[in-house]
Structure 1
């Protein structure tokens, strides 16, 4: 709605109301709220503590940050890497660039409209091509050959997972497919000896998915997942079944690199169905308890073995219960990655799995001692900062975030039941007295047991002495 309709209050009421109706009718109800690659919402950028988490440090991808002065050094490297590629495989490069030019109109629609107006089609195609070549070099581990410091390589990886720094997969995937079948990717040679020219499109995409997943292993925020024997058998059987079925290309499902990461490690692998924008489910109100409060009523914490790092669950144990949380590495780029995932799902209008995860972990951390307990249990693996600083990072990340009230409902129900339980509440309120009583009566019990054992030992020995006396008396009598 335009500001003129709202501010034009000098006329008659009927005219003002009519202007409101006119403005609202001009809005297309079928218009999408956000492009596939949206801008970071303003409410995320308002927080000064997190203001450095959304802009690239060394490299720009796409139009949003293109041309910034502090990113020009990497633009030179992009041109150098693309030039090397063109000189090595000119025919393949021509095919790739022609493909990009065909997709210019579709690629423009993936970004906010005002960000692409300044580029002519040829300029936009060149930007897409250079950025695509650069991402290919990073994914296929060729960036290591460039003269970059370790910190610069880390910053590049961090920048590739910013919401405003994405390249549409509809541009990148065709480049990757041509790249793979042209013989550039030597890693495939090590996995198979068959001719790449005879591969089906599904097989090519499976190889690309493997390559992407190998690249994701360099993102240290992903928990290490060790498959059990049963999981290996199950996954093997799934792979056999997948060979016999024709499925839609998996790569075509994703919008961009951050989207791929989200569906693999936040939404859950195999959950290839996008949520629709809908009102969040309203559930009961839950109280929040810190790690040490839960520990005091018999609830422990343990790392779980899953590749989805937001997968939190509750498991009953013989002594109480355990909240199982996948391990999370806290590094320099962790805050940026998690906030960009949260911003992305906010733009998409999804249920907010990453947002709810951050808020849940924040609810467990009241003091540095809570961080210490999670570290000791192997859930938080930190390489930066003190326990107090880690607690502050989660506090900063969750400022102004609104979790889905139905998220982790089962876990919250279990936790709440422990605190509503009379027995657990009594133990929680009288923990020190119970401990003293246990020590006291254990001491008394120990003394009593020792006395009984001494008495029984004495009574067992007395009959033996009696028999000996009688025998001696009989011998003397005779």
Structure 2
């Protein structure tokens, strides 16, 4: 038995699916389904460590500019754009000064980069690197690498750039399409760290092992310090009771993190680029990467979303938590209510592009946990109106320097358009909120809290007046003089039993 498929057009290559053939037997069709590798059927998407932003992220016009660099291009995707030419000349100037101040010959530095060209090309989408020959590609990543190094080590201030330009550079370094592989950046940074000692001692047997452990730690500190400066938030003043309460509540989590930390902590060579580094340090925050298969957790319950003011009306308060992993949201039970502990977040010009590029990174990397995407969607569920933003600002959770409460609410609405969070994200938090929201006893107490307290105050006031009147009457009666036999008055009356006895 055969299945005839009448198809027009020329015959197709054997690498295509048998369904494109003029005819095929049932046996060959089933054989294709069972044996062919979909990665080699010509339809699989190219997987890269520095991919293009998916088209669905660019569909929102309000978000389009969040994926494009403003002042500086890194890598091939945006190289050569006219609006970025000013910074290209600065890159050349900075690299020339660096080579001049270094004891390492410029030829040695350039040769090291040239040796990594073939590896570096594999990090990008293939069509983006075809326009560059090896010489031009080497020069591009050479200049980009030293530019990033100078910025990370705060050397850019010597170039007398405006504060606006520095902020724009910082923003551009967090774009998904504006990354340089650590496979190239780290060797360049070592030239500075080793002060002319070359690259001796490098382990040639392992392409991922680029330096000694001590060098890795030094480079990690440089990058972490750069991110810490960006995330720096003025500390909140706490009452004595809050300090004691927070210290006890944080102790079990600290002990757990210490005991669960793997002995082989991640080194600088385990990261692909700056955005990748930022993600695993400040978004995922558990020190372990999700490589390979993904685990899907079963969703045991459905929980609706409530805004900040809805939760506030049922006794749930909001508190800033002391953690730099800004996705680490928790729920804490109290006597009659509860509290949502949410890390502090500064809303600035670069916040929206950062969150969107982190979400795009999660999508491209296939991270089912989708921590950043789930976080912004969770925050969007809390922020329905400007009043919700106002409440979070009053608690020190949101800090903004760019606009009104309504504008901040609009930013979260725009960020979450077309985003799909992990359905299991914050499941425990949402379950605790739902349980509290549905608690009949707590809701009754909270509902009648104001009438009851008003009645208590009212009757306490009446009771206080009556009690004061009685006390005044008794005091006056006690002080009134009493007449003694013989017409004399005494200020202190003689008890009756003593009078008759005498």
TM-score, normalised relative to structure 2: 0.79
For residue 284 of structure 2, give the secondary structure of its aligned residue in structure 1. Answer: coil
User: Is 1:271 aligned with 2:284?
Assistant: no
In structure 1, which of residues 190, 193, 201 is the aligned counterpart of residue 212 of structure 2? 201
1:83 to 77, 90, 96: 96
How many angstroms does 1:439 deviate by? 1.2
Quote how far apart the aligned CAs of 1:73 are. Answer: 1.4
Of 150, 158, 179, 1:145 maps to: 158
SS at 1:384 equivalent: coil
Q: Pairwise mapping of residues 348-387 of structure 1 onto structure 2 (< 5 A)?
A: 348-350=365-367, 351-387=369-405
Match of 1:366, SS state, is coil
CA contact (8 A) 2:308 2:388 kept: yes
Tell me how far apart the structure 2 counterparts of residues 121 and 256 of structure 1 sit (CA, whole Å).
21
1:440 matches 2:455: yes
Q: CA deviation at 1:219?
A: 2.3
CA distance in structure 2 between the partners assigned to 1:295 and 1:183 by the alignment: 61
Q: Which runs of 5+ in 2 are unaligned?
A: 1-8, 198-210, 237-242, 483-490
How far apart in 1 are the matches of 2:21 and 2:40?
30
Q: Deviations 1:207-266 (Å, cap 9, x if unpaired)?
A: 21111122113424x65689999999x99xx99xx9xx9957710111000011111100
8 Å CA contact retained: 1:308, 1:326: yes
Cα drift, residue 354 of structure 1: 0.4
| TM-score, reference length from structure 1 | 0.83
Asked if 1:67 corresponds to 2:83, the answer is no
Query: What is the correspondence of 1:386-405 to structure 2 with a 5 Å cutoff?
Result: 386-405=404-423
Change in Cα spacing, 1:29 to 1:376, as seen in structure 2 (3 Å) is farther
Which one of 449, 461, 466 corresponds to residue 451 of structure 1?
466
Q: Distance in 1 between matches of 2:277 and 2:91?
A: 23
Shift in CA distance, 474/81, structure 1 to aligned 2, threshold 3 Å: closer
| Aligned twin of 2:333 | 316
Instruction: Tell me which residue corresponds to 2:52.
Output: 39
Change (3 A) 1:451 1:407: same
Return the structure number with greater helix share: 1
Among 102, 107, 117, the alignment partner of 2:120 is: 107
Deviation at 1:473, TM superposition (A): 12
Per-residue deviation, 1:349: 1.0
Aligned to 1:281: 297
Contact 1:177–1:205 under 8 Å retained in 2? no
For 1:159, the equivalent position in structure 2 comes to: 172
How many residues are matched? 448
Q: 1:425 to 1:249 in 2, by over 3 A?
A: closer
Aligned match for 1:214, one of 225, 244, 251: 225
Deviation at 1:457, TM superposition (A): 5.6
TM superposition shift of 1:92: 4.2
Q: 1:131 aligns with which of 144, 156, 159?
A: 144
Of the two, which has the highest radius of gyration? 2
1:94-128 Cα deviation digits (max 9, x unpaired): 33222211111111111111111111122211111
